[in-house]
Amino acid sequence: MTLEDQPDIMQIIDEQEEMNLKKAEIARMIDHTLLKATATREQIRKLCEEAKDYGFASVCVNPVQVPYAAELLRGTEVQVCTVIGFPLGAATSAAKAFETRDAVDNGATEIDMVIDIGAAKEGNFDKVRSDIAAVVEAAQGRLVKVIIETCYLTEEEKAAACRAAADAKADFVKTSTGFGTGGATVHDVALMKAAIPAGMKVKAAGGIHSYEEAVALVQAGADRLGASAGIAIVADAED
């Protein structure tokens, strides 16, 4: 399917019905995120406690923090998500696969990997697909979300990256690392949703600060939200 074959993105957005998500509903969609290089064990402990208290879907932490997060969250429903090839996506496929296996061994239950962005810009989507497939295989059945870093891609490249992720049997496509030049937009989420097959999902991440922004992204097709402002987002929702 080419971009021209996809439904009109603005029409999809315009046709969305008004949505009102309760606190518990939106909390279950949030990956409570702390990916700063300066993150300490105390901050990770606080992140995990907040995730348990608010009922967030997961905590998203750097690989070095996975063992501690897994220890803190053992026996809870909160998943341990980590990032692979982050934030540039410029590691080799073998390195990404090794990093994934190590994360899984340390207790990660969800994997957010960054695509080979340079390959996407060259139009080499066979390489993008094989890079993703290496991580999917290494994840050993764990949920894999593919960060396509929309701020660097054209509309055609975004759609093609989504199709590559689908072909590689990933579970989600994700908008952003939060470390690029832009984050999640309603337009990009709708475009990505239109580009993937039924059953595959979209994670919106990067620059989501309010309940209103979160709901708009969910209306556009997001199934999961990556945010460091999860508590503020949930605070504005109704009980």
Q: List the catalytic residues.
A: 112, 174, 203
Range 82-85, long-range pairs (CB < 8 A, 24+ positions): 82/108, 82/110, 82/111, 82/112, 83/35, 83/112, 83/113, 83/114, 83/147, 83/177, 84/111, 84/112, 84/113, 84/114, 84/135, 85/113, 85/114, 85/135
